[in-house]
């Protein structure tokens, strides 16, 4: 691939945090304020784009009604092209760029094109949810470990190490699991996790519209159906989900 001459363009992968604009880091906000172009999607919370320069170009690459988000490959090309125009490109990503955010692919594409990339971590959705609804992910009475897993469907199936996830004394947080919730609930129970294990669905943590739906491993699918739950939402499973304060903050 063609090497970009040094001094031509650069990029930052910036974690925007889970939604609340005050949860972006100082570094993220500073770099966002310096960027010439900002590439963002649906998971970036309200007000965060206001931190960009008024004159900065804003490029939305997420889903709109009736249209899919831009394919990942096209997003990678776009970032490289903008940087090659000599711009400082901020790629704003919900939560943390490296937690199920495909930031790794964007980093590789930019690096392969010889573009300097800075990475700014962000508050991932699980941490935002725990803070907003007041349940410590590793409360010592309930969990000695905490696992983040993806519930994303591959060929209509969720493929995870169910035995490992079903272990006691663990908090399991599943990202992108709404569509696969029935399978997730059934497979964890089949792997030995009791159906009455506390669990919760958390929609848009830290956004003004945030909501938590507490239940149990066995009841979550029904709760999701009744409430017509749509992404983005997290599935939290384990004793700590029983500590959740439903009203949120």
Integer Cα distance of 150 and 145 in angstroms: 17
63 counts as catalytic: yes
* 157-196 residues near ligand SAH, rule: CB under 6 A: 175-176
DSSP annotation of 45 reads: P
Smallest distance, ligand SAH to C-beta of residue 85, A: 26
Q: Which stretch binds ligand SAH (CB under 6 A): 24-32, 82-90, 179-187, 205-213?
A: 205-213
* 101-120 residues near ligand SAH, rule: CB under 6 A: 101
Buried b (16+ CB within 10 A) or exposed e, 5-41: eeeebbbbbbbbbbbbbebbbeebbebbeebbbbbbb
CB 135 within 8 A of CB 244: yes
* 51-90 residues near ligand SAH, rule: CB under 6 A: none
The catalytic position among 20, 36, 41, 96 is: 41
Smallest distance, ligand SAH to C-beta of residue 5, A: 32
Cis peptide bond N-terminal to 232, omega within 30: yes
**Nearest position to ligand SAH, beta carbon:** 95
Residues of this chain that bind ligand SAH (CB under 6 A)? 18-19, 43, 93-96, 99-101, 124-125, 128-129, 175-176, 202, 204-207, 231-234
Residues tagged active-site: 41, 63
């Amino acid at each position: 691939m063609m090497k970009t001459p040094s001094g031509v363009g650069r990029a930052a992968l910036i974690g925007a945090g889970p939604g609340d604009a005050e949860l972006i880091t100082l570094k993220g906000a500073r770099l966002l304020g310096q960027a010439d172009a900002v590439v963002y999607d649906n998971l970036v919370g309200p007000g965060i784009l206001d931190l960009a320069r008024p004159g900065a170009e804003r490029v939305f690459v997420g889903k709109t009604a009736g249209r899919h988000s831009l394919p990942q490959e096209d997003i990678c090309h776009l970032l490289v092209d903008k940087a090659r125009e000599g711009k400082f490109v901020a790629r704003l990503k919900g939560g943390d760029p490296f937690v199920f955010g495909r930031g790794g692919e964007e980093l590789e594409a930019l690096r392969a094109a010889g573009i300097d990339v800075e990475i700014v971590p962000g508050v991932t959705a699980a941490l935002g949810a725990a803070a907003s609804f007041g349940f410590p992910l590793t409360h010592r009475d309930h969990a000695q470990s905490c696992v983040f897993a993806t519930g994303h469907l591959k060929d209509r199936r969720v493929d995870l190490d169910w035995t490992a996830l079903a272990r006691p004394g663990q908090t399991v947080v599943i990202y992108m699991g709404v569509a696969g919730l029935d399978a997730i609930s059934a497979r964890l129970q089949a792997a030995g996790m009791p159906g009455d294990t506390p669990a919760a669905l958390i929609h848009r943590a830290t956004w003004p519209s945030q909501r938590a739906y507490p239940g149990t491993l066995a009841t979550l699918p029904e709760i999701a159906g009744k409430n017509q739950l749509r992404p983005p939402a997290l599935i939290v499973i384990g004793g700590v989900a029983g500590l959740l304060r439903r009203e949120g903050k």
